[in-house]
Amino acid sequence: MTSAPSTDAIRTVDAVVVGAGFAGLYMVHKLREAGFTVQGVDAAKDVGGTWYWNRYPGARCDIPSLLYSYTWSDELRDSWRWSEKYATQPEILAYAEHVADRYDLRPAFLFETKVVSAVFNEETGRWRVETDKGQVFDARFCIMGTGCLSVPRVPDLPGAASFKGKAYVTGQWPHDGVDFKGKRVAIIGTGSSAIQSMPLIAADAAQVTVFQRTPNFSLPALNTPLTDEEVAAFNEAFPIYKSLLDSGEPGIPLPPKGWVPSDEELAPLVEQLWNGGGLISAAMIPELMRSERINDAAADFVRARIREIVKDPVLAARLTPTSFPIAAKRACVDTDYFATYNRDNVTLVDLRETPIEAITETGVRTSGAEYPADIIVYALGFDAMTGALLNIDIRGRDGVALRDVWSEGPKTYLGVAIAGFPNLFTVTGPGSPSVLSNMLNSIEQHVDWIFDAIQHVQKTQSALIEATPQAQDDWVAHVNEEADQTLYPRAASWYVGANVPGKPRVFMPYVGEGYKKRCDQIAADGYVGFALSR
Ligand code: NA7
């Protein structure tokens, strides 16, 4: 416990920004440029957010690098050259570092420091933000750039602590890498992190055993180096891309609205899902998440490819996802995932047939057998979207805790503000498109919107801006209605919190259309649904 700091030790700032990922970096930059005093805080040693932590082999973005980039500065864009269609984690981290260097953002941050509480003071209308190192900030605004996938699930399997070999969590990967040469490796989980890392681990290790609870859909990345011509073509088209984003249109081509393709029309689109590379071709399939017929056609196509690639038909059947619609859990993007199961040194253990009973001193014991391992890789996913916010003791009006307000699931207005928590904003919070969009675009949109809202508070000489309970209730109802019209809720995914025992099952991202236009209209009309007070 740290003793209570003296009043002198409390630093007064206009804003505290939590997180030095892409959200926090841009927010700090924007506020500082406008003359606000800002304190950034991050638990990591340096910038990068999720890309700082997720250093497992094969970690990459699943949105093309050219789109997985900030759009707010031409000179930043001109100063950076992506080398591959889907950048690796080291390259994305280097991009975040490049941004921090170029705009001298590091001095605005306290690193290796966690915010432990943020408490609103009704009398002063300000936030008292405390860190685990005992620093206290008195801030007018509190902006949470805490990330959607920033709290990795650590192993809670019985006996995990008894394992005598080395154990690693994909989301907390060691900085100096892991040497798999000659080792027997157990990989637990078959989400994106496992699917990206497994082929690279198998290329090095003596033996890899993958423990699969639910088979997953994965699409080939078809990753390639980016040519100068591709970069030049993107740069040439950039003004159009940017103006589309600014006007609230998706920056990628989409099928015509209202078009429900016949089976005949669907066939080439579904083929493109596999042959187009990455996730973007999924967006080209109209009604993919609304029509069972269309979703089944896409899923069947991918299932057939798995059967083609995996030589052993029994193994192929085990690897074939059947229990949820394609993309209702985020589809993975891989390089050689299914093909790697044809290697002699790779084994699949189907936990639906033989569940894990315990981690032992020497490996993994299922109800069927004991699997000795030198290394266990836990790829168990994240306490997504709400985990990082709820790890902080956030208290709004009347000392009410966010943990209590959200005990039945997150409630926000637009995913950016919470009723009863004035002057506190969440970048890509639950209830916004966030993880179902290009995160970089969504982060930018939220940061710009929050910045404008703060400017509006200043201009109107208000003290506080806060979502009204009615606007929040209406938004939560709308988020749910939109999700209910889709196939998303049919999967026990992290979108609904199903991967964390005891987490309320609420669909968290916003799947409706026209989100940015709505946010912009709300601002243009004087922040409808928000109360401004002196
Ligand atoms: P995911 O996609 O949440 O995957 C986690 C995996 O771990 C998934 O296969 C889970 O099986 C499995 N899991 C979780 N707990 C257990 C236990 N106790 N026993 C066995 N298997 C378990 O996380 P990722 O990190 O791979 O990817 C997250 C996102 O990062 C991804 O969507 C991209 O957006 C980037 P389940 O499916 O729950 O049966």
Q: What is the pLDDT of residues 328-379, one digit of tens each?
A: 999 999 999 999 999 999 999 999 999 999 999 999 999 999 999 999 999 9
What per-residue confidence (pLDDT) applies to 50? 98
- Using the mean position of ligand 1's atoms as its centre, give its distance from the Cα of residue 254 in Å: 29
Q: How far is CA 108 from CA 73, 131, 169, 304, 495, in A?
A: 20, 15, 30, 52, 33
What per-residue confidence (pLDDT) applies to 506? 92
Half-sphere exposure of 377 (CA within 13 A, CB side): 37
Half-sphere exposure of 317 (CA within 13 A, CB side): 4
Answer whether 29's CB lies under 8 Å from 103's CB. yes
What per-residue confidence (pLDDT) applies to 172? 98
Q: Helices 292-309 and 263-275, interaxial angle, to 10°?
A: 40
Question: Is the per-residue pLDDT at 7 higher than 80?
Answer: no
- Using the mean position of ligand 1's atoms as its centre, give its distance from the Cα of residue 189 in Å: 5
Share of the chain above pLDDT 90, in %: 95
Share of the chain above pLDDT 70, in %: 99
What per-residue confidence (pLDDT) applies to 4? 56
Question: Is the per-residue pLDDT at 5 higher than 80?
Answer: no
Beta strands in 170-318 (DSSP E): 184-188, 207-212, 218-220
Q: What is the pLDDT of residues 201-217, one digit of tens each?
A: 999 999 999 999 999 99
Question: Is the per-residue pLDDT at 3 higher than 80?
Answer: no
Question: Is the per-residue pLDDT at 1 higher than 50?
Answer: no
**CB of 494 shorter than 6 A to ligand 1:** yes
What per-residue confidence (pLDDT) applies to 262? 95
- Using the mean position of ligand 1's atoms as its centre, give its distance from the Cα of residue 381 in Å: 4
What per-residue confidence (pLDDT) applies to 446? 98
Instruction: Reduce the DSSP state of residue 34 to 3 states and report it.
Output: coil
Tell me the average pLDDT across 391-396.
98
The count of other CB atoms within 10 Å of the CB of residue 342 is 13
Q: Across-strand partners of 210? A: 187, 348
Question: Is the per-residue pLDDT at 284 higher than 50?
Answer: yes
**CB of 189 shorter than 6 A to ligand 1:** yes
Tell me the average pLDDT across 263-292.
93
Query: What residue ranges define each of the domains in the chain, with the CATH number in brackets?
Result: 10-47+105-151+384-533 (3.50.50.60)
Tell me the average pLDDT across 138-158.
96
Ligand 1 atom nearest 499 alpha carbon = 38
Answer whether 86's CB lies under 8 Å from 223's CB. yes
Q: Can you tell me the distance from the alpha carbon of 180 to that of 227, in angstroms, rounded to the nearest whole number?
A: 33
Question: Is the per-residue pLDDT at 51 higher than 80?
Answer: yes
Closest C-alpha residue for ligand 1 atom 12? 189
- Using the mean position of ligand 1's atoms as its centre, give its distance from the Cα of residue 97 in Å: 28
**CB of 213 shorter than 6 A to ligand 1:** yes
Residue (of 289, 288, 330) closest to 482 by Cα position: 289
Q: Can you tell me the distance from the alpha carbon of 31 to that of 28, in angstroms, rounded to the nearest whole number?
A: 5
The H helix count followed by the E strand count for the chain is: 16, 20
Statement: the pTM of the whole predicted model exceeds 0.75: yes
Tell me the average pLDDT across 434-446.
96
The count of other CB atoms within 10 Å of the CB of residue 244 is 14
Least confident of 14-23, 273-282, 467-476, 511-520: 273-282
Closest C-alpha residue for ligand 1 atom 18? 157
Q: What is the pLDDT of residues 222-268, one digit of tens each?
A: 999 999 999 999 999 999 999 999 999 988 888 888 899 999 999 99
Closest C-alpha residue for ligand 1 atom 6? 189
Q: Which residues contact 100 (CB under 8 A, 6 or more apart)?
A: 20, 25, 46, 47, 106
What per-residue confidence (pLDDT) applies to 281? 87
Ramachandran class of 125: left when φ > 0, alpha when ψ lies in -120 to 50, beta otherwise? left
CB-based burial of residue 490 (10 Å sphere; 0-12 exposed, 13-18 middle, 19+ buried)? middle
Question: For the chain, what is the mean pLDDT?
Answer: 96
Q: Which residues contact 104 (CB under 8 A, 6 or more apart)?
A: none
Closest C-alpha residue for ligand 1 atom 32? 330
**CB of 416 shorter than 6 A to ligand 1:** no
Question: Is the per-residue pLDDT at 2 higher than 80?
Answer: no
Kindly report the length of the chain: 534
> Of 89, 173, 190, 378, which is best to mutate to test ligand 1, by the most ligand atoms within 8 angstroms of its C-beta?
190
> Of 217, 349, 380, 437, which is best to mutate to test ligand 1, by the most ligand atoms within 8 angstroms of its C-beta?
380
Query: How is residue 456 annotated by DSSP?
Result: H
**CB of 149 shorter than 6 A to ligand 1:** yes
Tell me the average pLDDT across 48-62.
97
Q: What is the pLDDT of residues 82-123, one digit of tens each?
A: 999 999 999 999 999 999 999 999 999 999 999 999 999 999
- Using the mean position of ligand 1's atoms as its centre, give its distance from the Cα of residue 169 in Å: 12
- Using the mean position of ligand 1's atoms as its centre, give its distance from the Cα of residue 378 in Å: 9
Of the pLDDT bands very low, low, confident and very high (cuts 50, 70, 90), residue 278 is confident
Q: Can you tell me the distance from the alpha carbon of 152 to that of 391, in angstroms, rounded to the nearest whole number?
A: 12
Strand order of the β-sheet with 363-366 is 356-359, 363-366, 370-372
Q: What is the pLDDT of residues 398-430, one digit of tens each?
A: 999 999 999 999 999 999 999 999 999 999 999
